[in-house]
Amino acid sequence: MSRLAQWCSRVFMVEINQKTEPIYFALSSTPSARNKELEALFGSGKLFSVHALGDDRVQSARSHAHLKSALTEDLPPGCQLLDTASFLPDVKNSLVRGFFLRDNSVLSSAERVVTHLRQKGSVCVFTYTRGQNGDYLCSDEADEPAERERRYYVTPAPAPLRHPSTLNIINSDVFYQMKDAYKVLQECSDVIPESKAVLELVEAQQLELNSIHDERFPVIVIEGLDATGKTTLTCSLQKALGAVLLKSPPQCLAHLRPRFDSEPPLIRRAFYALGNYITAAQIARESSHAPVIADRYWHSTAAYAIATAVSGREENLPAVGSEIYEWPHDLLRPSMVLLLSVSPEERLRRLSHRGLDKTEEESQLEINHLFRRKVDEAYKRIQNPACIVVDANPSPDHVLQQVLGLIRNKYNLQTPGH
Ligand SMILES: Nc1ncnc2c1ncn2[C@@H]1O[C@H](COP(=O)(O)OP(=O)(O)OP(=O)(O)O)[C@@H](O)[C@H]1O
Ligand SMILES: Nc1ccn([C@H]2C[C@H](O)[C@@H](COP(=O)(O)O)O2)c(=O)n1
């Protein structure tokens, strides 16, 4: 069967921009009636869909990232690069991400770029052209000549019940047991040698974890978007409660973080997931003799991963109660999770006062209101334990007193020296 024939059972989603509904279409052997949305998408220029190919998930994820940078760098003005994905409606793990190229340049420049990519291999390129009757046809130049005689028409497809970008979240963006995240880093240890160091640290902590038994003191996690005041509050809480302050990712991974931050979501998120297991072992050890305050933990890992994976608006997030928001069964659960919430204006004011270099994700937060809303909403949907939202707009001392009140209400903790 030709590659194009195999893709006939799939639906394509093209995202014109993050704020509007995507356009869905499928391939069929029969033409369909004219459709305004498709005409707006295809227009009169030439169109290509490009997907990276890979033998395994690590290679596919890295090839997709390389393809994006190649296309972004090489495409001249007049060409438009849109995110696209193909999927089997409501079938988990069926999503394949790619790009749509709209070429309205006078010199058909995209065609040259695409031909070059095709020659290099490891990409699948479909070309879309307008037929004599005004319908749109899809072809694959890699097909045998006889197969190329067959006609594949673009036909509109209905929007699926679940947004397609939610289909692959489990075990690609969010990991629900240590062994799944561990496996990802094992699979990439040839191409990313730093993975071995992470795996060794996880192993060492797990061995130690077996000798730790009881958890007597409360474990309080402080969560929130960047610049919401986590560092300020966790340091104050540490002093006020005589607590041990921990972070996720833990200090022992700090030097490896930039390496994994530059990798595609599959690898990056597996790294952060494993960081939580190392922090969990530290929490188990420390909470046997003092209260523990943790600056970020699993809520952050899951909320950022979900918000990045789910394209478009907040409404596209998995529904409240979805399994996607469940806590991993093998990860130590904290006693309390507090989510610091500040208004967008106050957060920006704090970010600008701080004046530090921002990570790429932080800059994205600043310009991307939609993304920030999705992270915030995902935080609130995570269950068992769910987070308690704290108004963190007031002064540092006011926020501290508020949080101490919440903690003391639940646990009979004394301030040192009182
Ligand atoms: N309650 C507050 N009122 C006013 N300013 C605050 C408050 N809490 C923190 N800040 C200031 O806001 C800035 C960000 O605070 P902080 O570093 O504690 O946030 P954060 O959540 O740890 O950020 P990140 O996650 O990016 O490290 C700092 O300059 C800090 O002094
Ligand atoms: N436990 C954690 C901590 C952090 N992350 C990711 C999520 C963001 O991309 C980024 C934010 O961290 P910061 O810049 O505030 O240090 O790190 C995570 O996934 N899990």
Q: Which residues pair with 233 in a beta bridge?
A: none
Sequence ranges of the domains in the chain: 3-167, 169-410
Q: Which residues contact 304 (CB under 8 A, 6 or more apart)?
A: 361, 375, 378
Give 368 Cα–ligand 1 centroid separation in angstroms. 20
Pocket test for ligand 1, best of 223, 228, 232 (most atoms within 8 A of CB): 232
Q: What is the C-alpha to C-alpha distance for residues 323 and 378, in angstroms, rounded to an integer?
A: 12
The closest of 185, 119, 151, 164 to 27, measured between CA atoms, is 151
Radius of gyration of the CA atoms of the chain, in A: 25
Rounded CA gap, 310 and 220, in Å?
29
Q: How many helices (H) and strands (E) are present in the chain, helices listed first? A: 15, 13
Ligand nearest to the CA of 356: 1
Q: Is the peptide bond before 249 cis (omega within 30 degrees of 0)?
A: yes
First-to-last alpha carbon distance for the chain, in angstroms, is 77
- Cα separation, 313 vs 170, in Å, equals 20
CA distance to 32, 73, 243, 288, per residue, from 414 (Å):
72, 58, 11, 17
Measure 392 CA to ligand 1 centroid, in angstroms: 10
On the question of a cis peptide bond just before residue 193, with omega within 30 degrees of 0, the verdict is no
The answer, yes or no, to whether any atom of ligand 2 lies below 6 A from the CB of 304, is: yes
Phi and psi angles of residue 74, each rounded to the nearest 5 degrees, phi first: -90, -20
Instruction: Ligand 1: list residues with CB < 6 Å.
Output: 224, 226-232, 350, 353-354, 392, 395-396, 399
H/E stretch holding 273: helix 265-286
**pLDDT per position in the chain (418 positions), as tens?**
788 888 888 999 999 888 888 999 999 999 888 888 888 888 777 799 999 988 899 999 999 999 999 898 888 877 889 999 999 998 999 999 999 998 877 777 788 888 888 888 789 999 999 888 888 999 998 888 888 888 999 999 999 999 999 999 999 999 999 999 999 999 999 999 999 999 999 999 987 776 665 668 999 999 999 999 999 999 999 999 999 999 999 999 999 999 999 999 999 999 999 999 999 999 999 999 999 999 999 999 999 999 999 999 999 999 999 999 999 999 999 999 999 999 988 988 888 877 655 555 555 555 578 899 999 999 999 999 999 999 999 999 999 999 999 999 988 766 665 5
Nearest ligand 2 atom, CA 279: 1
The predicted pLDDT at position 357 comes to 55
Token pair for residue 69? 């940078």
Atom 20 in ligand 2: residue holding the nearest Cα: 301
Q: Do 118 and 142 meet the contact criterion of CB atoms below 8 Å apart? A: yes
pLDDT for the residue 382:
98
Ligand 2 lined by 316 (C-beta under 6 Å):
no
| CA 137 – CA 129 distance, rounded (Å) | 5
Predicted ipTM beyond 0.90: yes
Q: What pLDDT shows up at residue 206?
A: 82
Dihedral sign (CA 235, 239, 241, 243): positive
Q: Give distance in angstroms: CA of 301 to centre of ligand 2.
A: 6
Q: What is the pTM of this model?
A: 0.94
| Cα 318 to ligand 2 centroid, rounded to whole Å | 21
> Does the C-beta of 234 come closer than 6 Å to ligand 2?
no
Domain 169-410 in CATH: superfamily?
Answer: P-loop containing nucleotide triphosphate hydrolases (3.40.50.300)
99 Cβ below 6 A of ligand 2:
no
Token output for 228: 């919401």
How far is residue 348's CA from residue 355's CA, in Å, rounded to a whole number?
11
Pocket test for ligand 1, best of 231, 347, 353 (most atoms within 8 A of CB): 231
